[in-house]
Amino acid sequence: MTNTEVSTIRDEPLPLILGIESTCDETGIALVRGTSLLGDVVATSMEQHVRYGGIIPEIASRAHLESFMPTLDAALAAAGVTLGDVDAIACAAGPGLVGSLTVGISAAKGLAASLGTPLYGVNHVIGHLAVDGLEHGPLPERFIGLVASGGHSNLLLIEDIATSITELGGTLDDAAGEAFDKIGRLMGLPYPGGPHVDRLAQKGDREAVVFPRGLAAAKDRERYRYDFSFSGLKTAVSRHLSAHPESEHADVAAGFSESVNDSLTAKAVAAAVDNDCEWIVVGGGFAANSRLRELLQQRADAAGKQVRIPPLRLCTDNGAQIAALGACLVAADLPPSPLDFGPISSMSLARPYLAPPNR
Ligand code: KG4
Ligand code: ZN
């Protein structure tokens, strides 16, 4: 053991976790100790998908293969560590694209076997919440998690991120980011449309065109208390644009954004009130949305609740979210995943990781 390694261990006794993310188009690799992010590198194949207007799974899988080693080397260099320093590995096991996940999982298994480290196959969506610990310190004891991305819009009751997660609700159709991307396409904006529609909405009048809220009918309000639906809204926007081609796109974007964010924020705050949680933690790429941040803070303040949202660079898919969750599992002293696990494209959000059977 070299002197540097000895001093690292003496100064910082927490285990070093290597996190590997490959659920979609990003190859993300990061190193985390406790709640300290030491190195975090992301390579994306988004440029190769833009001309198709959506992610092409086969292209994404090949890009993961090409990016894996350079991303790993860059992350280790950024953290100033070597593979020999790694104490445990966490990789995304799902939910996500099977081909993309397979590349990351296979690489993680190879590394774990050759280094003799434990391997945790973790839930990417729960990682979107765990990552906030790297910015704002250990997560609150009990909290409502709002995950909003291109693939997910969910409300979770988290009593312990390593062991106790209850799914309160989710979208019945499109995810929030996906709805934004579809409206972007209708308006002729580049893919992914979410950030473009957000920018346009900021210039519009959110009361000029009022669109319906999903699941707001009396019969749906209790049954779908924590669920979302954005497909009717998308149809309403599409009809409006056809019937009123002269209407200002900025006003339409603002009215659309208000409908999505009204539902997300009202239901997140209701979940916090109903479950007596002081904190709401937000994660996922849609957490970049300007109106979501503003409206959630306003409504949480009014209800006496507190909000934590990671910085934007940690909201989009990255290895830090996987390493952060891995660090929580290791800190809770949980056993690693059995080495025979494979990708789980629709992994239940109640499972933070693939625990050995009989747990
Ligand atoms: O979490 P993420 O990076 O990827 C996954 O879907 O897992 O989220 C990307 C999604 C895309 O749909 C993108 O358009 C949307 O988040 N998004 C936004 C904004 N920034 C990203 N949607 C609305 N407003 C934004 N500012
Ligand atoms: Zn994600």
Q: Which atom number of ligand 1 is nearest to the Cα of residue 284?
A: 1
What is the whole-number distance in angstroms between the Cα of residue 298 and the centre of ligand 1? 22
State residue 51's pLDDT score.
83
Residue 34 CA from chain centroid, whole number: 20
Nearest residue CA, atom 14 of ligand 1? 194
What span, in angstroms and rounded, lies between the C-alpha atoms of 22 and 43?
A: 10
Note every long-range contact of 212-218, with CB atoms under 8 Å and residues 24 or more positions apart, other chains counting. Answer: 212/236, 212/259, 213/259, 213/262, 213/263, 214/172, 214/259, 214/263, 215/172, 215/263
Using an 8 Å Cβ cutoff, are 321 and 21 in contact? yes
Model confidence, pTM: 0.93
Taking the C-alpha atoms of residue 335 and residue 135, their distance in angstroms, rounded to an integer, is: 26
Enter the DSSP assignment of 116.
T
Other C-beta atoms lying within 10 Å of the C-beta of residue 111:
18
Cα-Cα-Cα-Cα torsion 135, 138, 144, 148, nearest 10 degrees, comes to 30
According to DSSP, residue 359 is labeled: -
Using alpha carbons only, what angle is made at residue 143 by residues 160 and 344, rounded to the nearest 5 degrees? 55
Sheet strand arrangement including 153-160: 164-170, 153-160, 143-148, 279-283, 306-308
pLDDT reported for residue 64: 87
pLDDT in tens, the chain (359 residues): 344 444 444 555 799 999 999 998 889 999 999 999 999 999 888 888 888 888 889 888 898 899 999 999 999 999 999 999 999 999 999 999 999 999 999 999 999 999 999 999 999 999 999 999 999 999 999 999 999 999 999 999 999 999 999 999 999 999 999 999 999 999 999 989 999 999 999 999 999 999 999 999 999 999 999 999 999 999 999 999 999 999 999 999 999 999 999 999 999 999 999 999 999 999 999 999 999 999 999 999 999 999 999 999 999 999 999 999 999 999 999 999 999 999 999 999 999 999 999 75
What is the CB < 6 Å shell around ligand 1? 24, 149-151, 177-178, 180-181, 192, 194-195, 198, 284-286, 288-289, 316-317
Q: 3-state DSSP: the chain helix, strand, coil percent, rounded to 5? A: 50, 20, 35
Distance (Å) from CA 356 to ligand 1 centroid: 33
Tokens in use for 79? Answer: 């953290």
User: Hey, whose CA ends up nearest to atom 6 of ligand 1?
Assistant: 150
